[in-house]
Amino acid sequence: MSKLTTMLATTAMIAVAAPALAEKWDMPMAYSATNFHSENGVKFADCVREGTGGAIDITVHASGSLFKGADIKRAIQTGQVPIGERLLSGHQNENAIFGFDSVPFLATSYDASAKLFEAAKPKLEEILADQNLTLLYSVPWPPQGLYFKKEVNSVADMEGVKFRSYNNATARLAELAGMLPVSIEAAEISQAFATGVADSMISSGATGYDRKVWESLTHFYEVDAWLPYNHVMVNSDVWGGVSDDNKSAIMACATTAAADGLEASKAYTQFTLNGLREGGMTVGPAGDKLVSDLQEIGATMTSEWLEAAGDDGAAIVDSFKAN
């Protein structure tokens, strides 16, 4: 064969072989494309494409466009999609350990929440493994504060307010504060606030900023109640079929994504609080009475969580406090 014929033959083989080799992975994510978790997910996908030489080609579907947040975990478990991102505290009904990051006032800073996550990680991975899920990386949201449509100085001021919840802990907090919880995906909150389905929520400055909540709400109180995590998980059967080299490449991208996501989360905190202010909202720390009222509710929720999470939960808290 001439050199040219060999080259053409090789090119033709590559052209035929490449599509068969590239695995397409759809990756549902629940939050807006401009949110830092979603942007980080796209960077992770780029890293995996490059690191696996194009063998694994991840497409991110943001804003709950492929699956809504609440359905993403099941979609990965059952193999409807190979990979996806989910806020695991939304599944505390399945296992209380999933709510380790939403225990009020247990870990209220980035440093504390990183320690709490490290303490919970082995158990979390064990539970996920039993559900056919492999954890790739986890990134915290900024500290959670309270949004209202009026000035609020105590829990008594919250009586009867319609409150948007995003997991079990947020719904429970609403109940204990005498509010009316309604579960609404982040992707749908602008509309929920605009139409009066809800008038308040607990969330980060990031989510309020992403959803332009100043169009409906007026006050954000920095409560720093907890920092919940989003987790990127892969179906364990799919993961088992990935070559060792590609697994290493993906894990390296996951390590980078965890670090970059954390930095973005930190940077986004002040940026988005400023954004809420620019949007016209009153942003500041909660007053003393509101803080002490919330701490009481937090104490109730902490004992409820410890009760539900049993020895495993106690072990996580002990290990967190020892570090």
Give the total residue count for the chain.
323
Site string for ligand PCA, 218-237 (x = CB under 6 A): ----------x---------
Choice between 184 and 250, CB closer to ligand PCA: 184
Choice between 158 and 225, CB closer to ligand PCA: 225
Question: How far is it, in rounded angstroms, from Cα 306 to Cα 314?
Answer: 6
Choice between 124 and 184, CB closer to ligand PCA: 184
Residue among 204, 265, 269, 272 that touches ligand PCA (CB under 6 A):
204
Q: Which stretch binds ligand PCA (CB under 6 A): 120-128, 199-207, 235-243, 305-313?
A: 199-207
Give the position of tokens 């900023």: 209
Q: How far is the CB of 50 from ligand PCA (least distance, A)?
A: 29
Q: How far is the CB of 152 from ligand PCA (least distance, A)?
A: 18
Residue 186 binds ligand PCA (CB under 6 A): yes
Question: How far is it, in rounded angstroms, from Cα 18 to Cα 87?
Answer: 35
Neighbours of 120 (CB within 10 A): 25
Q: Which stretch binds ligand PCA (CB under 6 A): 70-78, 92-100, 198-206, 216-224?
A: 198-206
Neighbours of 32 (CB within 10 A): 18
Residue among 87, 120, 213, 273 that touches ligand PCA (CB under 6 A):
87
Residue 206 binds ligand PCA (CB under 6 A): yes
Residue among 25, 98, 137, 141 that touches ligand PCA (CB under 6 A):
141
> Is the dihedral angle over the CA atoms 312, 316, 322, 323 positive or is it negative?
positive
Query: Beta-strand (E) ranges in 121-235?
Result: 133-140, 145-148, 162-165, 180-183, 200-203, 219-222, 229-235
Q: Which of 252, 253, 230 is nearest to 43 (CA)?
A: 253
Residue among 32, 77, 207, 235 that touches ligand PCA (CB under 6 A):
207
Residue 144 is classified by DSSP as: P
> Is the dihedral angle over the CA atoms 189, 140, 42, 130 positive or is it negative?
negative
Choice between 48 and 273, CB closer to ligand PCA: 273
Q: How far is the CB of 244 from ligand PCA (least distance, A)?
A: 35
Question: How far is it, in rounded angstroms, from Cα 177 to Cα 255?
Answer: 39
Q: Which amino acid is at 185?
A: E
Provide φ and ψ at 182, rounded to 5°.
Answer: -140, 125
Residue 220 is classified by DSSP as: E
Residue 77 binds ligand PCA (CB under 6 A): no
Choice between 168 and 235, CB closer to ligand PCA: 168
Q: How far is the CB of 251 from ligand PCA (least distance, A)?
A: 26
Residue ranges in contact with ligand PCA by CB under 6 A:
87, 141, 166, 186, 203-204, 206-207, 228
